[in-house]
Amino acid sequence: MVRCNVKKIYILLLIISLSFIFISCTKEVSENIENELNETVDTLDENDNKEAEDIEPDYVVKWVDMEFEKALRTAINKPRGPICRSDLDGITKLEIWGKSYAKSDINWDVFYCEKFDLEYKPINCDAAWETGNITSLEDIVHFKNLTYLSINNNQITDISPLSEMVNLESLSLLGNQVTDITSLYNLVKLNSLTISIYESIKDTSVLDNLKKLEYLDLIGNISDISNIQNLTNLKVLYLGYREINNINSLEKLNNLEKLYLNDCQISDISFIKNFNKLSTLFLNGNHVTDITPISSLKNLKNLNLMYNPITDINTLANLTNLEGLNISGNTLNDISILGNLTNLKHLNIGGNNLSDLSFLKKLTNLEFLSIAGSECSNFNDLSGLTKLKELNLDNCIATDLRPLENLVNIERLSFIYCKAPNLDGLDKMSKLSYLSLMYGDVKDISALKNLTKIKEAFLGWNEIKDINPLENSKGIESLNLIGNGVTDISVLKDKIKLKDLDFEKNNIVDISPLEELINLERLNLSRNKIEDISSLSKLVKLNYLNIGSNYIRDISILGNLINLTYLDLHTNLVSKVEGLSNLINLSTLDLHTNIISDISPLSNLSQLYYIDLRYNNIQDWTPVRNFEHVIGKPE
């Protein structure tokens, strides 16, 4: 546009200046000047046409998927007004995570899969957002310069619009419903591809054309891997959660550095014997008995053999570079050879038939250890592991925790089914932030009184009556004491960082100490002896509240808790439900076993998906006639 205006101005000035010359010139001279002028105009027109060919015309984008548009406006900070193609030219990386995506907490069974060897590393994208409702990729054609595209956990089935995105180098379609990937055939620049979705992809021939691939994630997608065998540039390969029939076809992929074959129902692993570059190998959940081929993989750092019928691990003795090893859930009796692997930082040996753990004394570099289900009678062999940060003792039979007193760097401790009556030995774990002692015989928690960094404590189903030792845990965010004998909760009155509190099945009468805990989002006080709930009126951040099986009559204060989506009031003495009429966000409501007769205040709770009204005195069911799931309504 600017170029065109300059041309017009130039021509206009030229005509004006030459007009004076025409007046005094001869006819021949005038004709020559006129010819030169025409040639100049033609030259300018020709240059403009050439420039127009080089520059793609701008246009206002017309969006097909409104969720896509909504998310993009957020990403480029343009909430209103037209979006032009030129607004998108600078975007080369695009990342879209669905709302359902959430990184899981540590899984004690596969620990270093999540924490130690996590492949996904977010990059600094030009545009990134979260939305879970994108169904169409037709709008992707407006992003001509994309080299990186990640669209995860949405509702996409058709990826044919990607066929034009020939500059893509990295593509992730994790958690969609894609079953046809033939449109990727021309994306020959791809070096990274993720289609991990637990959907069956029948035609994988397109993969044979993607020779530059170095990273490929097909977890849950395919059984026939013959079209992968020629991708010799692969460095990282994820397969799994589907039976693989021709596993030996991988034997050519000797550039692999990381290989994940979880739950593939394989038994023969001889194909890996020449994978000398492997640093990570996951074979958990298979039928492997002979692990001899692994003995030649001298560069291995991470090895997962969880849940295989392995009885002998002596062939691992020479893998001295190992830093992470998971052999849990096998049938091992003797693993003393692990004493040679002094570089180990992460070790999971839980779920075996182990009573002798003396080899652990040599593994002083350990930062994570799980001996869950161990039959050792004491924890003496752990006393020197002072670098430990995470320890799992679930279901161990030892009851004396005092040998653990030197483990002052522990941050996370799990001892589910702990038979120790007291926690002596934990009192010096000043860095402890996570503690799980569920389903045990614990009576005395006085050892916790100086552990000021605890954020999560799961102490449910024990025999704890006194929780005053938690007095100094000012930063606690989650506390579970379900199924104990607690009566006094006054120690909680200043625990203002609490978000999740569970005191189901105790002997609590007075809940006034909760009055100022305004950050609570989830509260369970069911099966206690509570009559007065007025102290809950300020807890407006609550989205989950269970106060069933108490002696509550007046629920009028609940009208303040407008963020509630789940409310359980079953088995109380409630007769009036007017206080619930404001709770328009409720999706689940349990009012069974009360003395309610009038349910008209519930009629405007349009978000209700489930409501239980059994065992009341209701005659008129009209107010809930349009609700989807009403339990107790006469047929």
Residues 6+ apart with CB under 8 A from 593: 570, 571, 572, 614, 615, 616
pLDDT digits (tens, 9 = 90+) for 26-73: 444 445 545 554 554 455 445 444 433 444 578 899 999 988 888 788
As a whole number of angstroms, the distance between CA 263 and CA 242 comes to: 7
Residue 633, in any domain of the structure: yes
Residues 6+ apart with CB under 8 A from 314: 337
Residue 36, in any domain of the structure: yes
As a whole number of angstroms, the distance between CA 311 and CA 292 comes to: 12
Read off the CATH number of the domain in which 613 is found.
3.80.10.10
Please give the pLDDT value at position 175. 85
Mean pLDDT of 275-288: 97
Please give the pLDDT value at position 361. 98
Structure tokens at 452: 């000021």
Please give the pLDDT value at position 56. 57
Please, what is the average pLDDT of the chain? Answer: 88
As a whole number of angstroms, the distance between CA 554 and CA 576 comes to: 8
Q: Is the pLDDT of residue 575 over 90?
A: yes
Please give the pLDDT value at position 20. 45
As a whole number of angstroms, the distance between CA 132 and CA 272 comes to: 39
State which of 20, 35, 54 marks the end of a domain: 54
Question: For residue 12, which phi and psi values (nearest 5 degrees)?
Answer: -60, -45
As a whole number of angstroms, the distance between CA 219 and CA 210 comes to: 18
Q: Is the pLDDT of residue 165 over 80?
A: yes
Residue 516, in any domain of the structure: yes
As a whole number of angstroms, the distance between CA 477 and CA 473 comes to: 10
Residue 75, in any domain of the structure: no
As a whole number of angstroms, the distance between CA 485 and CA 466 comes to: 8
State which of 54, 75, 92 marks the end of a domain: 54
Q: Is the pLDDT of residue 9 over 70?
A: no
C-alpha neighbours within 13 Å on the C-beta side of residue 408: 3
Structure tokens at 227: 């079209």
Q: Is 215 left (phi over 0), alpha (psi -120 to 50) or beta?
A: beta
Q: Which of 91-105, 156-170, 199-213 has the highest mean pLDDT?
A: 156-170
Residues 6+ apart with CB under 8 A from 36: none
Please give the pLDDT value at position 97. 77
Can you give the residue range of the structural domain that contains 577? 509-635
Residue 551, in any domain of the structure: yes
Residue 623, in any domain of the structure: yes
Percent helix, percent strand, percent coil in the chain, to nearest 5: 25, 15, 60
Residue 552, in any domain of the structure: yes
Note the pTM of the prediction, 2 decimals.
0.84
pLDDT digits (tens, 9 = 90+) for 312-338: 999 999 999 999 999 999 999 999 999
pLDDT digits (tens, 9 = 90+) for 590-629: 999 999 999 999 999 999 999 999 999 999 999 999 998 9
Residue 562, in any domain of the structure: yes
CB 152 within 8 A of CB 97: yes
Please give the pLDDT value at position 4. 41
Q: What is the number of domains present in the chain?
A: 2
Say what percent of the chain tops pLDDT 70.
85
